Amino acid sequence: MKRARASQTLRPPGFSYVEAGSAPALQLHCEAVPLERLAARHGTPLYVYSAATIRSRLRAFAQAFRAVPHTLCYSVKANSALAILRMIAGAGAGFDVVSGGELQRVLRANRKAAGKVVFSGVGKTAEEMELALRSGILLFNIESESELNMLSAVAGRLKKRAAVAIRVNPDVSAKTHPYISTGLHQHKFGVPIPEAQTLYALAARQPYLDVAGVSVHIGSQITDVGTFQEALARVAEFIRRLRREGHDIRYIDAGGGLGISYEGAEQSFEKQIAAYAKAVTQPLRGLKLHLLLEPGRSIVGAAGVLLTRVIYRKTNYRKRFLIVDAAMNDLIRPSLYSAYHEIVPVRSGAAETEITDVVGPICETGDFFARERKLPVVREGDLLAILDAGAYGSVLGSNYNTRGRAAEVLVDGARAKVIRRRESFEDQTRMEG
């Protein structure tokens, strides 16, 4: 198998164009598997993930943070497929969960991972806390006084000590989309630092709470690493103050949020992660903390594509549309956040380009993947790959318009395994009367 020229590779090591025998076209592969073959076998729309990419991202994190004691707690919300969780647990990582359901997924994927689970989120219920306590998770990230009181009551009833961190809101602007920015005073997340101090004093008086750490998460898709540094400098100062007050702070949970490059090939993830590691660890120097990291998108985002087939070409008053068989129910990021996803033909070769919208069949104007995009000309029946769809893709899927969720395939070298079959009409209606 011959790889195409470097300029034509896309998202190595997962997705690259490969010369297709004697044909003039290049064919997009996931690792060693042609995407055309997967589409023919499993249909479209189809999520395809590269195991090699996920592994290389995990290795890059381990390498970048090797100088400090740390645990990577992959953020399950980014992609919660059991097969992916199994793989990540197998690599020795822990998990960040935000619901009892996510915790159950982790337990199903690998029961032994429970001791490396952090539980985040503003609205944990008593039932979810109970499940987490019985499972023996590592840390609860608490976001309000009411939640602290609830955890104290549940832990007391079960006679199980709960390790807690208060998630502080450092009032730092994450310079990202407003819907995924979380660290400003107007957001529902975290507790302002002065209030958090009171909560620590309150927690320390509860017999079944163990004050163990401080947590912070300022948002998602953050590419300016200076923002992390600013937030952690505020947190470091707060930790010093808490220790002076006698609290035994051992953990700093720095959250997730490292962004990826959706436009054009990523320059060098290794370089980016090195800058991120420096921004996170520098303010914590000398504090002798165990660092917890909750990356989601940066682990799985570039590891997935959404494969879709062009159903029709259409022109309205000279405006061109490619109507594809994937829709906003499969990948909602463009509709929800005006997110940009690069779209490429699976068989590359057309020299001619056109300006077109790429839209789905759902009856909403907001059902689009690209607007006024310059793309190589493709025909009805051709395949397109929507890149960087591994994070916040399938997990945000729905059945809107009674569309079954897409099937998902995990590729590892030359092997391709269906990790979620396509949802049928029967699957969708099973719970209805």
Residue of the chain from 16, 44, 75, 169 that contacts ligand PLP (CB under 6 A)? 75
Q: Tell me the site size for ligand PLP, rule CB under 6 A.
A: 18
Closest approach of Cβ 425 to ligand PLP, in Å?
Answer: 32
Q: Which residues contact 192 (CB under 8 A, 6 or more apart)?
A: 168, 169, 171, 185
Name which of 61 and 369 has its Cβ closer to ligand PLP.
61
Closest approach of Cβ 292 to ligand PLP, in Å?
Answer: 10
Q: Site residues for ligand PLP, window 348-377 (CB under 6 A)?
A: none
Name which of 87 and 97 has its Cβ closer to ligand PLP.
97
Residue 403 in 3-state DSSP?
Answer: coil
Name which of 34 and 393 has its Cβ closer to ligand PLP.
393
118 in Cβ contact with 96 (< 8 Å): yes
30 flagged as catalytic: no
361 in Cβ contact with 327 (< 8 Å): yes
- Per CB under 6 A, the segment of 103-111, 213-221, 244-252, 329-337 that binds ligand PLP is 213-221
393 binding ligand PLP? (CB under 6 A): no
Residue of the chain from 34, 100, 183, 256 that contacts ligand PLP (CB under 6 A)? 256
Q: Which DSSP string corresponds to 335-396?
A: HHH-----EEESEE----EEEEEEE-SSS-TT-EEEEEEEEE---TT-EEEE-S-SSSSGGG
Active-site residue, selected from the candidate residues 6, 363, 414, 431: 363
Round to the nearest angstrom and report the end-to-end CA distance of the chain.
53
Other residues' Cβ atoms within 10 Å of the Cβ of residue 290: 15
How far apart, in whole angstroms, are the C-alpha atoms of residue 301 and residue 49? 10
Supply the angle between the helices 82-90 and 51-64 in degrees, to the nearest 10: 40
Closest approach of Cβ 296 to ligand PLP, in Å?
Answer: 3
381 in Cβ contact with 338 (< 8 Å): no
181 binding ligand PLP? (CB under 6 A): no
257 in Cβ contact with 219 (< 8 Å): yes
Residue of the chain from 183, 213, 295, 304 that contacts ligand PLP (CB under 6 A)? 295
Closest approach of Cβ 95 to ligand PLP, in Å?
Answer: 10
Which residues, listed in sequence order, are joined to residue 18 by a DSSP beta bridge?
3, 27
96 binding ligand PLP? (CB under 6 A): yes
Other residues' Cβ atoms within 10 Å of the Cβ of residue 135: 18
Name which of 226 and 413 has its Cβ closer to ligand PLP.
226
Which CA distances in Å does 120 have to 9, 75, 217? 38, 10, 10
Name which of 221 and 308 has its Cβ closer to ligand PLP.
221
Name which of 42 and 70 has its Cβ closer to ligand PLP.
70
Listed residue (212, 228, 224, 218) closest to 189, CA to CA? 218
170 binding ligand PLP? (CB under 6 A): no
Name which of 180 and 370 has its Cβ closer to ligand PLP.
180
Q: Site residues for ligand PLP, window 109-138 (CB under 6 A)?
A: 120
Residue carrying the six token digits 């730092």: 172
Over the range 367-382, which residues count as b (16 or more CB within 10 Å of their CB) and which as e? bbbbeebebbebeeeb
294 binding ligand PLP? (CB under 6 A): yes
Closest approach of Cβ 417 to ligand PLP, in Å?
Answer: 24
Residue 83 in 3-state DSSP?
Answer: helix
Residue carrying the six token digits 């800058």: 275
Residue of the chain from 29, 217, 373, 405 that contacts ligand PLP (CB under 6 A)? 217
Residue of the chain from 4, 35, 78, 174 that contacts ligand PLP (CB under 6 A)? 78
Within 43-161, residue ranges assigned H as helices are: 51-64, 82-90, 100-109, 126-135, 145-158
Residue of the chain from 14, 94, 100, 257 that contacts ligand PLP (CB under 6 A)? 257
Closest approach of Cβ 169 to ligand PLP, in Å?
Answer: 12
297 binding ligand PLP? (CB under 6 A): yes
Closest approach of Cβ 170 to ligand PLP, in Å?
Answer: 13
Name which of 128 and 294 has its Cβ closer to ligand PLP.
294
The catalytic residues are 363
Contacts with ligand PLP by CB under 6 A lie at 75, 77-78, 96, 120, 217, 220-221, 255-258, 294-298, 391
